[in-house]
Amino acid sequence: MEDRRPKLVILYATQTGNALDAAERVAREAERRGCPVMLLSIDEYDVSSLPHEDTIIFVVSTTGQGDTPDSMKVFWKFLLQRNLSKHWLEGVRYAVFGLGDSGYQKYNFVSKKLDKRLSDLGAMAIVEKGLGDDQHPSGYEAALDPWMSSLWSMLNQINEKFFPQGPDFLIPDMKLIDQPKIHITYHSVDKVDSQSSPNSDLKWIEMQIERARSMSPGKFTNDKTRPNCFLKLIQNQRLTRAECGKDVRHFEFEFVSSTIEYKVGDILEVLPSQNQAAVDSFIQRCNLDPDAFITVHPKEMNNHLLHTHTSANVPIKLKTFVELTMDVASAPPRRYFFEVMSYFATAPHEKEKLQYFASPEGRDDLYQYNQKERRSVLEVLEDFPSVQMPFEWLVQLVPPLKTRAFSISSSPIAHSNQVHLTVSVVSWMTPFKRKRSGLCSTWLAKLDPEQSIYIPAWFQKGALSPPPPSLPLILVGPGTGCAPFCGFVEERAIQNESSATAPVLFFFGCRNEDGDFLYRDFWLSHSQNGGVLSEAKGGGLFVAFSRDQPQKVYVQHKVRENSRKIWNLLTEGAAIYIAGSSTKMPSDVFLAFEDIVSKEGGLPRESAVRWLRTLEKAGRYHVEAWS
C-alpha cells in the first residue's frame, strides 16, 4: 500500500495582512521543499477538526492591546471551552509563529496564549514559538527566518516524508515562478457594458469600488468591499500653528448617501484616493493598457495559497482596478516582491542585486533600502528598469490599497448627519533625507470643502465603549489621542443639560501651549462655569506642555500629581480611558496608575498591578493606541 505524503496545514489570523504575508512565505518555503500545503484563514477552518490533524502550523498576529484578530475570535472561544480535556489534542503536533510589536505592553500576547492553550490541551510543540517583532530593524522576518529553518529540520526528523529529498533540497524556482496565484482575463470593449457615468453618481462609484475590491487578491474582508456610506467634506481646519512643526487638522463630513448610526468611541475608515500621476506612471512603467477591461480570478489550486471573495464577473477598466486596489506609490513591497523581480530582471547587475536582497544574507540591507526608506512599488520598479513583471504577478504582489482608520471625534447627539475627525498630517524624512508623507492624511489635508468630492467610508466599533452618563471618567488623551474624548465630552455636556452626570477628569498633553494645544477653546469652555470638566462638577482639565519648560512634562506626570483625586474617583467606580500613540505612552500611563493604586490604596506593587488588571477585566480600563 502506497504511503500518503503528509500535508502541512497552515492557519493564519491576520488583522492588517502581515500574518497572511508571513503564512504565505511559510507555505511557499514548504512547497519548495516538495511538501504539499493547505493554507487557510483561521475562520475558514473547522476548529472541531483539530484533534484529527497530524501537524498544524499557526501564524497569528496580536492587535491593539493584546487582542485577537477578528478572524480568530470564534476559533479562540471554542478552544477556551471548559469541557475540552487535557488529552483533547493528544497526538497533534503544532508550531506557532506570532507577529507583534514590542512597543506594546502585551507584546505577542495572542501567540503566547495560543501556544499555552494548545499545550494545555495535549498538543506537542514541534519547535519553540517564534515571536516576530515590528520594532526589530528587519521587522518580523528577523525572527521568521531562523524559526522556519528550525521548523523544517524538526519536521524532517519527525517524518522524512514531509520533505522527500530532505529539508535543504529546493525545487528549481522557475517551476514555481511560472505559477502566479491569479488569472487575468482581458475583454474586448464591444462586449463590455458602457461603464461611463458622471463622477457624482454615487451608485456607480459604489459599484466600481465593490467590483474592483471583490476581485482583488488584496486580503480585504467582506465588509471592506462595499462602502457603508459616502461622506462629503464640509470643513478642513488646521488646529496647529504653522511654525510648531506639526500639521493637525479638524475635518467635518456630512453624510451624502445613507446616514450611519455611530457611537462615541467608534472608528471611521476611509478609502484614500491615490495620486493620479503616480498611477499613470506605474501603468506606463509596466507597459499596461489603462483602458483595457479585465476580470481577475484566483487560479484553481489545491493548496489554497490564495483566497479571494467570489469575484465579480463584470469586467472593470484596468486603470480603475489599479486605482482602487493596488497601493503603487505609498506602501513598500514585501521581500517576496524582490524575489519574483529577480526572475524577470534581464540586466545581470540588477538580477544579482535583487537575488541578494531576497536572500537571508541581504535581509538587513533590503530593510534599509526598502522599509526604512519607505520605497514605493513604483520607485522600486524604476530602480530596476530591466524588470518587466507580468500583470498577474503585480496584482498578486503589490501591497493592497487599505482603508485608513481614525477615531471619531464627534458625538452623533451633538452633530446629527455629521462625523468629525482629528488627523495628524504625516510626513517625515528617511535616513537618506528623502521626504515621505502619509497617503491618506496628505490627501485629506489637500481636499477643498468647496469641491464636491465623495469619500467612501466604513464605520467600525472602537476599543473605547461609550460610557453611561452615571459613570465617572478618567480620560488620558495626549496629541490626537484627544479625538475620541471630544465626542465623550460633547455627549456628556448634552446629557448634563437634562440630568446630573458623573465627574470627568481629562488629561491632555502636547509640546507647547501656543503651538499644538488641540481644541484649546473647547476644553477650556467645558472646564469653566459648571461645565462637565469643571471642578464644580467634580471634574478637571489637566494639560502637560512637554517643551514649555526646561524639564519635560508628560501626561503621566500630571496623572501622578492628581493622585488623590484619581484614587477617590476610582473608589467611586470610575473607568479609565486612554488613547494615543502606542510607543511608550500607554505603558508609562499604566505605571502612573500603578503608583497611584499602590500609594493611595496602601498596596504592594504586585497587588496594584492585579488591581488594575481586575479593572481591565471588568471593562473599566480601556486603551486605544495606534502606531
What's the CATH number where 330 sits? 1.20.990.10
Determine whether the annotation assigns residue 310 to a binding site: no
AA letter at 175: K
3-state secondary structure of 225: coil
- Domain of residue 36, CATH code: 3.40.50.360
Q: Say whether both 137 and 209 belong to one domain.
A: no
- b (16+ CB within 10 A) / e for 269-301: bbbbbbbeebbebbbebbebebebbbbbebeee
pTM: 0.86
CA distance 505 to 574: 10
**Is there a single domain that holds both residue 229 and residue 145?**
no
Closest by CA position to 579, among listed 483, 506, 460, 481 = 481
Residue 18 counted as an annotated binding residue:
yes
- Residue 350 in domain: yes
Is residue 61 part of an annotated ligand binding site? Answer: yes
Residue 325 among known ligand-binding residues: no
Percent of the chain with pLDDT over 70: 93
| Gap between the Cα atoms of 537 and 265, Å rounded | 23
Give the residue from 375, 397, 419 where a domain finishes: 397
62 is in an annotated binding site: yes
Q: Are residues 234 and 212 in the same domain?
A: yes
Tell me: do 12 and 135 sit in the same domain.
yes
Q: Is 396 annotated as a binding residue?
A: no
Residue 2 lies in a domain: no
Integer CA distances (angstroms), 193 to 203, 254, 267, 296, 346, in order = 16, 32, 37, 17, 39
575 domain residue, yes or no: yes
pLDDT in tens, 171-224: 766 555 667 888 999 998 765 655 555 555 888 999 999 999 988 887 555 557
Q: What is the mean pLDDT of residues 11-29?
A: 88
Rounded Cα distance, 2 and 372, in Å: 51
Q: What is the pLDDT of residue 129?
A: 96
- Does 19 carry a binding-site annotation? yes
Within a domain: 451:
no
Q: According to DSSP H, which parts of 531-620 are helical?
A: 555-561, 563-571, 585-601, 605-617
CATH code for position 612: 3.40.50.80
Q: Can you list the alpha helix ranges (DSSP code H) found in 315-401?
A: 318-325, 335-344, 348-358, 363-369, 377-383, 391-397
Same-domain check for residues 192 and 150: no
Beta bridge partners of 423: 249
pLDDT at 414 over 90: yes
What is the domain range of residue 153?
8-171
519 annotated as a binding-site residue: no
81 and 230 inside one domain:
no
Residue at 64 is within a domain: yes
Instruction: Give residue-wise pLDDT tens across range 478-508.
Output: 999 999 999 999 999 999 999 999 999 999 9
Residue 346 assigned ligand-binding role: no
Q: Are residues 17 and 162 located together in one domain of the fold?
A: yes
Same domain? For 158 and 27 the reply is yes
Element (H, E) at 206: helix 202-215
Burial string for 212-236 (b: 16+ CB within 10 Å, else e) reads bbbbbbbbbeeebbebbbbbbbeeb
**Would you say 480 is a known binding-site residue?**
yes
In a domain, 487, yes or no: yes
56/146 same-domain check: yes
Residues 143 and 200 in one domain: no
Residue 246 vs residue 170, higher pLDDT: 246
Q: Check whether residue 389 and residue 269 sit in a common domain.
A: yes
Cell 499613470 belongs to 280
The last residue of a domain, from among 360, 379, 397 = 397
Residue 376 sits at the vertex; the CA angle it makes with 374 and 377, to the nearest 5 degrees, is: 145
- Establish if 410 belongs to a structural domain: no
9 labeled part of a ligand binding site? no
Q: Considering 377, 397, 417, which residue would you say is the last residue of a domain?
A: 397
- Who has greater pLDDT, 612 or 299? 612
Task: Give a yes or no: residue 588 inside a domain.
Answer: yes
163 and 190 part of one domain:
no
Number of domains in the chain: 3
